[in-house]
A and B are shown apart, each in its own frame.
Chain A
């Protein structure tokens, strides 16, 4: 089986302008939404309290919301999480309230709203280990609501995570640029980073537009995708260098077209395989991994587009020449040197 039966090089670069205009428009839209709507940062970044409760019956979100709102914590967010019985409640930081007690207080109230009282109860796990946890007990020993998870993050931690996230992004960008500049040439390094940063901005734009929750896991996904889709550009640049050496008569534009065409098959198959894995996470990973997988999906799709069409085009416009690559380093002249540059 062979999916890609391409007879001659596809003239991608003839449409370079179109690709870049499309890119630019998407990018501008992403920036626009980032500025106007902003990211819906998770409490890991903003600080605050999150409770996840499980109702015995389908939860009445409005009732839950009004119960929590009556406590006066300011802007609270109440939403379903995964199933109709699981409810996620998010509370902002309030300077005058002791944060560590918020979660317990809210659970008390929710329990009272279901007609129960909170008291510690001993549970024995199936393995025989004993655990004690506060449980909401209503009449006849029923448990109308269960506390699945709570999380509280102080404001200082949030600020730090935010700055650490920015630092991590900077580290990745600088590290990759240095590596590419060392491995190829500065024009490629600039082109690759511009192309892939534009991916990052687009992912963020999606999160801003749909107001999806931007958590630490999503940040991890974004950085992982950045490293991953840069190697797409690397493969193409490797091919460009190889083609410059091998086909002395080709113009820069033809060389780039040839490089993109011949890596096409590998690009699609690799990304397809990675996407299969991500899809499995999206389908089976549950709500915790949901946005992580979503960020990866967007990243992978735009990663192909940008590193194939945008990075090469930018390198072309930056005026990449045969001399830039062939000249650098005497030992790289030998096309048979297996370490000279990889090709696919």
Chain B
């Protein structure tokens, strides 16, 4: 009765192997590495850089463990810090010929030392939280009200152009808070407009009001559309933050959405809060200017003459120079949105821009006077400008809806839209929580957490082995297996390990032993009641299971509450706690049973089990084997 079918043993063996495999990377530590990432939004890093870096290293006579492209950075790992620093200099010299205007950011970094075959199995070490490695943590609140206001502004622009296109006469369009209002002098016109607006702007809910000769139609954002707007705003802010933080060349920055309107930014290794804040808070600016196409300018382009008065020379994304006027027509402030899409007639890839009311008016006036000329959209970053695109104006553009198309691939359209949006945050952000942890404190915390787990585990193991003898050994092995599985699962999920997380590991182990105590006590009790050893093991496990389930459910309820309502460090605690409860049910019951079955299951005439002394109140000798209900 105490035999497991082969598949159960196989399942346990597989769990053990997988557990070992995924826990393994955590023991290798970190090796020096060099990380290359793009230094400008306009420069996209791709896999083509890898052979370049490899050849640079070869020429310098340096040997890298590997060079690989990952996400949007290239990482090269080295055996020691000496090589690392030499490699950094060599790569930096080769990739950035002009030191004053670096296109690539070359930084020193740390990479896991775990071998490539483990990495290829996606067996990666756990990610250490800021409290363990040191760094800066910001919690930022996105001002959603202003995102909605901006959106309303852009709707007002849409309405203006719609009314003009359909030749509907209105008496003014205004933005009122997050709503837009349009006035009419005539009831019939209002009805006509309402039909058009409801059809063309499905995101708005229209309500009619008015008195006497003044008819008013108010459009408010539907709740689901408002949600979408907020979603997009936060997404754009995150993208923008990514671009800015990239420049810091931090190994693994965390930029995550938290809740509906918050962004968490964690910068491991950064100690200088002021600089980090500066970079996060900086705005790249977008400017729209006219391209100078006079003969002097063409001469200047060829390099035959100085740039004409009132103009400047910039580089296009392809690297070609272009002369633009100094006068700024519009700035990024007037741009409410930029989306990739397709031209409605030619089906060519295009970028659709939306301008706010003021921007739309200026843009219409400028385009009316300059049909056939080129305009340039410039992005200024770190005080340096670059022309993102310089399209030709084909006709007067009113209504604030601008489309840039022609000779673009879909990828380019996407990139351009991203660049145009990257300039600004969709909504302002404010830091509402800030935390910095020094690196030595982090090191300390790791040691303390590690020590707590080790000594606690050792104490429990010693006690169990003494009190329950062989069954105690099985329980201890099961507990060790639980720890292994827990670390493996956390590594697989690439969870962030924090000090509260380590505390949760310790606590979970302390609680997980409960299951084995329940089982062992029950088996003893069965023996005391006179059951045969085999029957006692069987009923002991069987009976204890329901209690184990019950007690784990109540603990899990508490864990889930923490997960649902906790934030920051408490979440880390809760995740580990919940996972630990689940792994403990598997290890304490199935794994320890597997060991017991393996050891005792085959012995038909089992006389005694090693579970410590079974004391009987009457002191009578063991009665005949007979199971008692």
Contact = CB atoms under 8 A, between A and B. Distances in A.
The winner among A217, A235, A265, A274 for most chain B CB atoms within 10 A is: A274
Interface string B104-129: 00011110000000000000000000
A277 B272 contact: no
B109 A278 contact: no
A217 B445 CA distance: 15
B269 A131 contact: yes
Contacts of B507: 224, 274, 277-278, 281, 296
A235 B547 contact: yes
A93 B604 CA distance: 73
Chain A binding surface, main DSSP class: helix
B80 to A, nearest CB: 8
Interface stretch (B273-281, B346-354, B375-383, B389-397): B273-281
B550 A234 contact: yes
A240 interface: no
Contacts of A277: 452, 456-457, 459-460, 506-507, 509-510
Contacts of A149: 435-438, 441
A169 B562 CA distance: 9
A100 B434 contact: yes
B513 A274 contact: yes
A165 interface: yes
A39 interface: no
A188 to B, nearest CB: 12
Given A127-B81, A129-B108, A270-B518, A217 B555 contact: no
Interface string A2-36: 10011110000000000000000000000000000
A170 B355 CA distance: 48
Interface in B536-581: 542-562, 564-570, 573-574, 577
Given A127-B81, A274-B513, A288-B445, A338 B452 contact: no
**A: contact size bracket:** 35 or more
Contacts of A285: 448-449, 451-452, 503
**B: contact size bracket:** 35 or more
B139 interface: yes
Contacts of B435: 149-152
A238 B547 contact: yes
B167 interface: no
Contacts of A326: none
B66 interface: no
A88 to B, nearest CB: 12
Contacts of B545: 338, 342
Interface string A162-190: 00110111011001100110010000000
A224 B559 contact: yes
B546 A338 contact: yes
Nearest to B500: A217
Given A147-B438, A179-B553, A223 B546 contact: no
B517 A273 contact: yes
A6 B525 CA distance: 13
Contact of B555 (A131, A156, A231, A344): A231
Contact of B558 (A123, A165, A226, A283): A226
Interface in B439-484: 439-441, 444-445, 448-449, 451-457, 459-460, 463-464, 466-467
B561 to A, nearest CB: 4
B270 A228 contact: no
Interface string B244-283: 0000000100000000000000000111111101000000
B335 to A, nearest CB: 29
B565 A2 contact: no
Contact of A227 (B274, B467, B556): B556
A156 B540 CA distance: 53
Contacts of B567: 161, 164
Nearest to A276: B459
Given A156-B432, A168-B562, A296-B507, 8 more contacts: A100-B431, A131-B270, A171-B564, A265-B521, A276-B456, A276-B463, A277-B510, A280-B453
11 contacts: A127-B110, A128-B85, A129-B108, A149-B435, A224-B558, A227-B559, A231-B555, A234-B551, A289-B449, A338-B546, A344-B518
